Amino acid sequence: MPKLSSTSAPATPVPAQEPLPDVGGDSQRSEPRSGWRPHDDAGHRNEVVLAGRVTAEPAVRELPSGTHLVTWRISVIRPAADQRPNQPADPITCVSFHPSIEDATRGWRIGDLVQVSGALRRRFWRSPNGSSSVIEVEARNAQRVTAAGSGHTAREPDHQPK
């Protein structure tokens, strides 16, 4: 997995990496990965790490079950080689059901540099036009790295569900 880099965020050490397990087939591909353990014998993996600027402040919604859902959006700049005309960055919606992340994101403002890790999730619902879906990052960890407008790194502790 390639290491994320940002000119405004401090470098993060990369843990020791190990090759993917051989899961059969003709592929002799071996990719490095860090600290990951397979969820099943097939070696499936759903892991996302993002660093970007907040473009939609966190909003909390109470679901009919009583659970709180916090939703926010970040913009992640693409490397120069991957940028398309009129799309230098990718807007990514993040969600979480964890109260600790709801608390951690409460003070986030547009322009804050944040780091989020979690998994991609596809959510489905029925609309007047038929079935709809969206792919979001379901956050397990979230932290503000730098507050908007401040020139210094204000790294807060990781907020992980207990």
- The amino acid present at 138, given as its one-letter code, is E
Angle 32-37-40 from CA coordinates, rounded to 5°? 115
Q: What is the mean pLDDT of each run of 10 residues along the chain (162 residues)?
A: 40 37 39 52 89 97 94 94 86 96 95 97 91 95 90 52 52
Check the CA dihedral 63-69-73-78 and report its sign.
Answer: negative
pLDDT of residue 10: 38
Q: Which two tokens stand for residue 28?
A: 């002799």
pLDDT of residue 3: 42
CATH code: domain 44-146 is: 2.40.50.140
DSSP lists the bridge partners of residue 71 as: 59, 95
φ, ψ for residue 73, nearest 5 deg: -130, 140
Count of positions (residues) in the chain: 162
pLDDT of residue 153: 52
Which DSSP string do the residues of 99-137 spell out, in sequence order?
A: HHHHHHHTT--TT-EEEEEEEEEEEEEEETTEEEEEEEE
Residues 6+ away with beta carbon under 8 Å from 24: none
Boundaries of every domain in the chain: 44-146
